[in-house]
Amino acid sequence: MSAAIARIRRLERKCRPTEARGCEDLRRIELALERIKLRLETIAIIGLNVHPLLTETKSMLLEVRKLIGEVGDPYIAALLAELGNEVEKLLVETKMWEV
C-alpha cells in the first residue's frame, strides 16, 4: 500500500497545470489509498468484528480501481488488484468464523 501511495505522489509531482483533471484524480486516489491503509491498520489492531470493516474496505478499493483506470498506471492497478484479492480472502475467512 505504501508503494502505491509513493507512486501516486511521484505522479502528482509530474503533473502539469494543463492536466488539472488527471492531477485531481491522482489526489483523490492518494486520499482514498490513505483511508484504506488506515482502515487495514485498524483491522489488524482490532481483530474483532472486522467483517463490516472489510466489506467497506472492499468497496473503497473498487472505487479507487475505477479512478486508477482513468489514470492508467498498470503498477498501481496491479497492487490494488492484489490487495483486493487479499481483502476478498479475508472476507471469506471472517464469514466462516461467524458460523
- Its pTM stands at 0.58
Over residues 73-96, the mean pLDDT reads 75
- Statement: residue 98 has pLDDT above 70: no
Q: At 98, list the grid cell.
A: 461467524
Give residue 48's pLDDT band: very low, low, confident or very high (50, 70, 90): low
Residue range(s) defining the domain that contains residue 13: 2-98
Return the closest-CA partner of residue 80 out of 60, 94, 51, 95: 60
Which residues neighbour 5 within 8 Å (Cβ) at sequence distance 6 or greater? 30, 33, 34, 37
Return the closest-CA partner of residue 4 out of 75, 93, 86: 75
27/80 Cα distance (integer angstroms): 16
Number of folded domains in the chain? 1
